[in-house]
Amino acid sequence: MAPHIAQRPAQRPPRRVSWNDPATRALVYQALALALVGAAVWFLVHNTLHNLSLRNISTGFGFLNREAGFAIGETVIAYSPADTYGRAIFAGVLNTLRVGLLALVAATVLGVFIGVGRLSKNWLVNKITSVYVEVMRNVPLLLQLFFWYALITENMPGPRQAHNPLPGVFISNRGLKVPGLEGASLDWMLGGLALAIVAIVVVGHWATKRQEATGQPFKLGRTAIGLLVAFPLIGWLASGASLTLDMPALKGFNFVGGLTLTPEFVALFLGLTVYTSAFIAEVVRSGIQAVNNGQWEAAGSLGLPRRLVLRLVILPQALRVIIPPMTSQYLNLLKNSSLAVAIGYPDIVSVVNTTLNQTGQAIEGILIIMGAYLTVSLSISIFMNWYNKRIALVER
Amino acid sequence: MSNTTQTLGADLAPPGAQTGAWAWMRSRLFSSPLNLLITVLLAWGLLMAVPALVEWAFIKANFDAANAQECRASGGACWAFIIEKHRLILFGTYPFDEQWRPLIATVILIAVIVASGMRRFWNGKLALIWTLGLTAVAVLMWGGVFGLTYVENARWGGLPLTLILATFGIAFAFPVGVLLALGRRSKMPAIKALCVVYIELIRGVPLISLLFMSSVMLPLFLPEGFTIDKLLRAQIAIIMFAAAYIAETVRGGLQAIPKGQYEGADSLGLNYWQQMRKIILPQALKIVIPPLVGIFISLFKDTSLVVIIGIFDLTLAAKAALSDAAWRGFGVEAYLFISLIYFVFCYSMSKYSRALEQRLATGHAR
């Protein structure tokens, strides 16, 4: 009897649809959820199309090719009211990127200094940086922007009595005036600079490869400085050395020459830098504190000088802790730059806002804003994730 | 033996003072030439800045000027402007004689926030406190019952509005956020995908774009003839925004719960919701209380963005006070005053969160 049972081919139980089967329930729940979301989306789209047809608004992105007809206070690219909405929005995107990238660099530098300062044994440094971080973190950014903007436009003197802290630098209620560079060589020198950066990356790559293969180190720092000086210099000479310093000067009631940084730009840049640097300082501080003290001692007992301990042992480990929260701070900074609209800096939000007030294309406008931010946010997080993976601890 | 000690010790100078003011200064201010330089530079900077600030903010400041000219003439801060306009800044355009109502509402909201910080209420009572508190606030602000006159929410403003946006925002976003977090950890691919898309979409765009969406697009989404007022639309945008961030925080807490807890709950025969409610969430939520306080702080600060769609919160009330032609040009004073209010709230909450973190961390210290 027993062998007979053993020989009987294993019979799979017939598939029955039962509510007690978790797989069945999961399928039903998912189908229900999708149906609900689908119905909600259909309902919203249906209402929207109906409302749009009531208000005689045509959907689509055709309006981007129409003439914009409004001026933009400051642009990176050439722009006039006769240009299209598309170009206006592009100018807005570039303005966002300009203030965002500059503030990102400034906030990182300032934040690292302040974060290190919070760990300093020097009592004065420690207290001042702590107060800075607490105050700046706990006051809304929008309020800080209003504050800087009011400080510049209401409390700074007019152009004729402008503060002049350095030769060629004027601070007045019209913004900041700084000397600019002018001449045909400028593009050549910038090209040289870009080439130098590419060359440094290539040489650095080669140097790492060589050190891994032969053990010979390569003095990258000196080479990098040499390249950074030499390439722009060659560009300057090659283009006939035509470069002059354009100093701002008071003429009548306003300044001529030089570079102008508008009050809007200065307020936004200051606000973003100061606010974000307080958060970056905390990230840096916790990153350095996360490295075990034993690492310092062990590296010291290997005979490494303090400079090398920091570079080869402490920083690589601190960076692992620092990179993920730093990424979210960078993303926050970029998203916070949209507050520009509150003080009238023509970033993408403010340009699109003007556009949708003129054309009534609300949905397209908001889709453009969201699309632009999502693109840049996702690219930053992809880049930072790649970098994070590169420096992450390789485990078995 | 004693001989050796004596010869070794004979040439040693007595150790320098290890305590006292001088030793403290030497170790904390002048321990190296670089430190000395930094200390001197900073002290010089403070000496230049602090007396000038004190002179501006207190000594030359004007507290009782009757008009702007008199105030400007004193050459310091014009706090008279704040004193003159404090009712407008704090309560917005709420009917003047009824402003005791937003005052009590503010006190209730602060009491609710403080009660949430007390561990004795960390159980079912907390939900009750929030429900009662928020209902009382709604009754006080709207009125229309118990003999209170009805005040439409377009006239609400100032500090109570800021507090309302933040507390109602967190109260409604919290359950949504927990559900989203559970959804993102779900084994059902469709539910997981929906939650991931929602969370990442919201976190990828600035709050301003959501507020714009709520103010221009929401009316288009709704059936004809059906409208939601501006304040409610902004509140919805804030809830949607906060829910995504709460979801990510709670997910962190869920991930920190060891697998054994899920398996143990399974072996007891509990179903999914029983497991979550009785075993997983109580542990996960306890871990994420400090980061949740952080989210509340940033939400409290972010409510100031409603200025951009024209809602009368603390910041816009200050701007309204500034737009009075008779008192033009005191922006710095007004914004400093508002900043102080925000600072007091946010700083005390972050201080509390840090103390809490230390107290809760004791069980897990390795």
Share of chain B above pLDDT 90, in %: 9
Residues of A in contact with B196 (CB under 8 A): none
pTM of the model: 0.82
* Architecture field, domain A85-159+263-391: Orthogonal Bundle (1.10)
For A33, the closest of B190, B205, B206 (CB atoms) is B190
Which domains, and CATH codes, for chain B?
Answer: 171-315 (1.10.3720.10)
Residues whose CB is less than 8 angstroms from the CB of residue B23 and which lie 6 or more positions away in sequence, other chains included: B16, B17
Per-residue pLDDT, B318: 84
Distance from the Cα of B75 to chain A's closest Cα (Å) equals 12
pLDDT in tens, A273-286: 999 999 999 999 88
CA atoms within 13 A on the CB side of B216: 21
Mean pLDDT value across chain A: 83
Per-residue pLDDT, A15: 66
Share of chain A above pLDDT 70, in %: 93
Per-residue pLDDT, B328: 75
Token reading at A214: 């032969």
Q: Is A388 on the interface with B (CB under 8 A)?
A: no
The average pLDDT across A300-308 equals 85
The average pLDDT across A325-336 equals 88
Share of chain B above pLDDT 70, in %: 94
Give the sign of the dihedral formed by CA B282, CA B285, CA B287, CA B290.
negative
Answer yes or no: is pLDDT of A331 > 80: yes
| Cα nearest neighbour of A145 on chain B | B335
Per-residue pLDDT, B1: 45
How many other CB atoms sit within 10 Å of the CB of residue B308?
23
Beta-carbon pairs below 8 A across chains A and B: 152
- Angle made by CA atoms B250, B251, B254, in degrees to the nearest 5: 90
Residues of B in contact with A29 (CB under 8 A): 188, 191
Strand order in the sheet with A175-178: A163-166, A169-172, A175-178, A259-261
For B350, the closest of A30, A138, A369 (CB atoms) is A138
Tell me if A66 sits within 8 A of A354, measured CB to CB.
no
Distance from the Cα of A204 to chain B's closest Cα (Å) equals 32
Greater confidence, A353 or B4?
A: A353
User: Would the CB atoms of A29 and B29 count as touching at under 8 Å?
Assistant: no
Residues whose CB is less than 8 angstroms from the CB of residue B260 and which lie 6 or more positions away in sequence, other chains included: none
Token reading at B137: 């606030």
The average pLDDT across A344-351 equals 88
Mean pLDDT value across chain B: 82
Answer yes or no: is pLDDT of A96 > 80: yes
pLDDT in tens, B101-147: 888 888 888 888 888 877 777 777 888 888 888 888 888 877 777 77
Per-residue pLDDT, B364: 45
- The whole-angstrom separation of Cα B34 and Cα B38 is 6
Strand A169-172 and strand A163-166: the pairing is antiparallel
- Angle made by CA atoms A5, A6, A12, in degrees to the nearest 5: 85
Per-residue pLDDT, B62: 74
- The whole-angstrom separation of Cα B117 and Cα B120 is 9
Which residues lie across from A62 on neighbouring strands? none
Quick check: ipTM above 0.85?
no
| Cα nearest neighbour of B309 on chain A | A342
The average pLDDT across A231-256 equals 74
Greater confidence, B25 or B189?
A: B189
- DSSP structure class, residue B158: B
Q: Is A310 helix (H, G, I), strand (E, B) or coil?
A: helix
Average the pLDDT over each of A250-254, B24-28, B86-90 and give the range with the smallest value.
Answer: A250-254
The average pLDDT across A213-230 equals 82
For A151, the closest of B219, B305, B332 (CB atoms) is B332
User: Would the CB atoms of A128 and B42 count as touching at under 8 Å?
Assistant: yes
Distance from the Cα of A179 to chain B's closest Cα (Å) equals 27
Average the pLDDT over each of A8-12, A148-152, B111-115 and give the range with the smallest value.
Answer: A8-12
Average the pLDDT over each of B9-18, B89-98, B206-215 and give the range with the smallest value.
Answer: B9-18
pLDDT band at B8 (very low <50, low <70, confident <90, very high): low
Residues of B in contact with A58 (CB under 8 A): none
Per-residue pLDDT, B132: 87
Share of chain A above pLDDT 90, in %: 15
Domain boundaries, chain A: 85-159+263-391
